[in-house]
């Protein structure tokens, strides 16, 4: 794709990429900004070879995910890729890094109690702002089914919070 389209591409994706990285680096703003910058510079370098038939969000999120994994491996050497990928979300100490209110902390605690797939859907959809189509593409599922699953996950979350 022509490089002159890159600034538009940047404006469309910057907020979501930043959020994606932010919630994977324990809420550290400085690190998130550095990694976001690196991701977009990498994307810029590879933009001319980017195939517009592939979804732009998939492409940029792949770059972001790989970059974050590389970073976390550097920070915590010896851990496997799967470990980093799967527990990357759970590592966030909400009460330390983020200035969350008590109810938000309770909510995140309750979120951790959900099954893994439900947790991922809720996180991607409601926190990181992905669309159901993008989540469906990532997970290889139907968008409608994901919508239903998301609704059920939220109900389960509400139930957990009521019990607490």
What is the binding site for another protein (CB under 8 A)?
Answer: 3-4, 6-7, 10-11, 14-15, 18-20, 22-23, 27, 29, 32-33, 36-37, 40-41, 44, 98, 100, 103-104, 107-108, 122, 126-129, 151, 154-155, 157-158, 161
| Measured distance CA(70)–CA(74) in Å, rounded | 6
Place of tokens 């010896």: 78
In the complex, the smallest distance separating the C-beta of residue 47 from another protein, rounded to whole angstroms, is: 10
- Identify which of residues 7 and 144 has a Cβ nearer to another protein in the complex: 7
In the complex, the smallest distance separating the C-beta of residue 33 from another protein, rounded to whole angstroms, is: 5
In the complex, the smallest distance separating the C-beta of residue 78 from another protein, rounded to whole angstroms, is: 28
- Identify which of residues 126 and 141 has a Cβ nearer to another protein in the complex: 126
| Measured distance CA(47)–CA(71) in Å, rounded | 22
The vertex-61 CA angle with 113 and 25, nearest 5°, equals 55
| Measured distance CA(121)–CA(138) in Å, rounded | 11
In the complex, the smallest distance separating the C-beta of residue 85 from another protein, rounded to whole angstroms, is: 19
In the complex, the smallest distance separating the C-beta of residue 18 from another protein, rounded to whole angstroms, is: 4
| Measured distance CA(122)–CA(132) in Å, rounded | 11
- Identify which of residues 41 and 46 has a Cβ nearer to another protein in the complex: 41
| Measured distance CA(14)–CA(103) in Å, rounded | 28
| Measured distance CA(123)–CA(115) in Å, rounded | 12
- Identify which of residues 36 and 57 has a Cβ nearer to another protein in the complex: 36
């Amino acid at each position: 794709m022509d490089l002159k389209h890159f600034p538009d591409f940047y404006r469309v994706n910057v907020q979501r990429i930043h959020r994606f990285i932010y919630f994977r680096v324990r809420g550290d703003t400085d690190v998130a900004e550095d990694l976001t910058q690196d991701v977009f510079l990498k994307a810029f370098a590879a933009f001319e070879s980017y195939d517009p038939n592939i979804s732009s969000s998939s492409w940029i999120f792949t770059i972001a995910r790989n970059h974050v994994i590389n970073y976390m491996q550097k920070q915590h050497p010896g851990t496997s890729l799967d470990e980093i990928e799967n527990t990357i979300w759970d590592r966030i100490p909400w009460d330390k890094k983020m200035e969350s209110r008590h109810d938000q902390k309770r909510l995140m605690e309750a979120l951790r109690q959900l099954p893994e797939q439900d947790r991922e859907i809720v996180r991607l959809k409601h926190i990181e702002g992905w669309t159901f189509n993008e989540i469906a593409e990532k997970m290889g599922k139907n968008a409608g089914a994901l919508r239903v699953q998301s609704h059920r996950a939220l109900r389960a979350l509400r139930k957990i919070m009521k019990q607490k």
